[in-house]
Structure 1
């Protein structure tokens, strides 16, 4: 089972280093992390954070600049690195606690170690909230993608309606065609009004999303 988990982490986790750190390993000792640095709980949280960061950076909203009031390409890797560092420390502390073999310790000694356990639990909760904030930002980016797609459809609708109107006007001369042409004219005017509203809404959503969530620092 241990070997299987090691294989899973090697495939699921990136070999992490501080953003933009490309110098030799000697110069960056202590500034890069490997899958072996994370136990199962830490690895799961880190994968969630990485997927959220990838979702934002891969979104159409990000590429089109709807979220560029902050520098996602710099800030999100920084957030990912901070999460990874905290999770690696959690892993080290959990391994130390297991090595202490608490079941072999007397009650008074276990009581002395209890504040350490509580501190670790608090830090884990804090980092989990940071990961959840990244996931919330990723959901917001996906929502912005959907709004942007609708905006593009609405933008093209008046011109498309005009082409359909011209098609009917040029090929059908009966009263039914006149009625359909009238409806298309009305639809085109409504679409133009909706388009103006959607443009304003999309711009407003982009500015709001640009602030991103406010992740809490790990304790």
Structure 2
């Protein structure tokens, strides 16, 4: 009988221990979730969620992010042929500044939609117009900012294409003497000189295109960064 009691006591202790462990695990999860929520509230001004933006603002921000991602992933950026350090510092900040303004614009647009009646009394349209015009002006300004980013990205991608062609041509250029010798040995003198000159001219042309494309990318960056959003 005593053995049975001891068994029951041990079994009860085992069940109690399991319940205690499960409670501790649940409590730990609860405390961890609570801590994360507290941190999220404390740092709410340091991140932006998709639901913070209305659909047009989400799309505009995505365009800005795509442009910056294209620039940062480019070969000319990685090779340091454009101002890579400035890009790494300024472009993420530019996207963040655009995002914060889009968040504010979304909030004010939603607020305005609740305040301004759908059907205004006759003669009242002009009274509300300055407020709607202010939001329109902000949208236009931010859209222009994103277009500047996209213009920069376009120039960088153009430079990338020329850069890839340039690197391939450089490999061939190293073998120019072999090609010149081949032409000299197999083609009539007058025609040989013309072909050799074409080789040199083509290499110079591609190099010029490459230098021009890099310059255009830098100019586009200059236009963007001369008036940063702060």
Pair in the same fold by TM > 0.5: yes
- Superposed displacement of residue 141, structure 1: 0.5
Q: 1:166 to 1:109 in 2, by over 3 A?
A: same
1:60 maps to which residue? 75
CA radius of gyration, larger in: 2
**Aligned partners of 2:167, 2:71: CA distance in 1, in Å?**
20
Tell me, yes or no, if structure 1 residue 84 matches structure 2 residue 95: no
2:137 maps to which residue? 122
Q: Does the Cα contact within 8 Å between 2:74 and 2:160 map onto a contact in 1?
A: yes
Q: How many residues align?
A: 192
SS at match of 2:90: helix
Q: Does the Cα contact within 8 Å between 1:134 and 1:215 map onto a contact in 2?
A: no
RMSD: 3.4
**Aligned partners of 1:46, 1:161: CA distance in 2, in Å?**
48
Q: Does the Cα contact within 8 Å between 1:158 and 1:191 map onto a contact in 2?
A: no
1:213 maps to which residue? 224
Give the gaps of 5 or more residues in structure 1: 1-23
Q: Does the Cα contact within 8 Å between 2:152 and 2:221 map onto a contact in 1?
A: no
2:51 maps to which residue? 36
Give the gaps of 5 or more residues in structure 2: 1-38
Query: Within 5 Å, which residues of 2 pair with 1:1-219?
Result: 24-25=39-40, 27-68=42-83, 71-100=86-115, 102-103=117-118, 106-107=121-122, 111-164=126-179, 185-191=196-202, 193-194=204-205, 197=208, 201=212, 204-205=215-216, 207-214=218-225
**Aligned partners of 1:105, 1:193: CA distance in 2, in Å?**
67
SS at match of 1:33: coil
